[in-house]
Amino acid sequence: MNHEVLAIRHVHFEDLGSLELVLGERGRPVRYLDVGVARIEAPNPVGASLMVVLGGPISATDDTFYPTLVPLLAMIEKRIAAGLPTLGICLGAQLIARALGARVYPAAQAELGWTPLTLTDAGRASPLRHLDGASTSMLHWHGDTFDLPTNATRLASTPACENQAFAWGDHVLGLQCHPEIRTDRFEPWLIGNASELAGRRIDACRLRADTAQFGPTLEAAARRMFGEWLDQVDTKS
């Protein structure tokens, strides 16, 4: 296995964000596989030191419309079975949940904007302690949710979404929320999702202002969380 990190990216502005800075500091190169540009089956799913499946505006169950989902699920299943570090963010977390046999489905209400996380006891005992709502808010941008996979441990919730974060074993972490957001790179999110914001009657100016207010604190907290998680999985892998 090499030291490379494989990041599966669905839309260009939903990248590793602040988490990539942590990897850079550790000398860990990131290779992005852009879905729809590169062949999804091309990389060896067990060849990288870490695989991250990033977010995107499609549903994790839209196999008929988006044929990249099935091979991506197969990649995730192979990573998990091999006991290798795997991280999912938003759509990525939903795909990990689905790969573990859990149901993914439309949430009772979309969650789009800033809301603090409420951590479970397990969450407070994990690297997610840095993301506790008492110290930082959190960005959310999703319309789907999922059941907690069998043998998974819930780490965090919000009033609108019970399963915001979960761990499965020592090597898998799913984050429905977006701790990776960078304040200075948020404008493409607003532009790329302009139709959704208008359709949901969400004020882009307010969302921009909230991100300017809460983003810097979250960036620092997310970097601490991710660094601690990397230390844990690197020790056990």
- Domain count for the chain: 1
Average pLDDT of the chain? Answer: 95
Distance from C-alpha of 157 to C-alpha of 120, rounded to nearest angstrom: 8
Residue 236: its pLDDT value, please? 62
Q: What is the DSSP letter of 185?
A: G
pLDDT of residue 234: 85
Residue 9 above 90 pLDDT?
yes
Q: Is the pLDDT of residue 43 over 70?
A: yes
Neighbours of 77 (CB within 10 A): 15
CATH classification at residue 34: 3.40.50.880
pLDDT tens-place string over residues 101-153: 999 999 999 999 999 999 999 999 999 999 999 999 999 999 999 999 999 99
Strand partners, 114: 139
pLDDT > 70 in the chain, percent: 98
What is the pLDDT at residue 40? 84
Cα gap 127→235, rounded to integer Å: 14
How confident is the model at residue 138, as a pLDDT? 98
Using alpha carbons, list the distances in angstroms from residue 183 to 30, 53, 70, 83, 131: 21, 21, 33, 34, 16
Domain that holds residue 90: 5-236
pTM: predicted TM-score of the whole model, two decimal places: 0.96
Q: Which of 133, 139, 126, 134 is nearest to 166 (CA)?
A: 126
pLDDT in tens, 154-207: 999 999 999 999 999 999 999 999 999 999 999 999 999 999 999 999 999 999
Rounded to whole angstroms, the Cα distance separating 69 from 59 reads 9
Residue 39: band (very low, low, confident or very high) from pLDDT cuts 50, 70, 90: confident
Q: What is the mean pLDDT of residues 70-79?
A: 96
Higher pLDDT pick, 9 / 41: 9
Catalytic residues: 90, 178, 180
Q: Is 235 exposed, middle or buried (0-12, 13-18, 19+ CB in 10 A)?
A: exposed
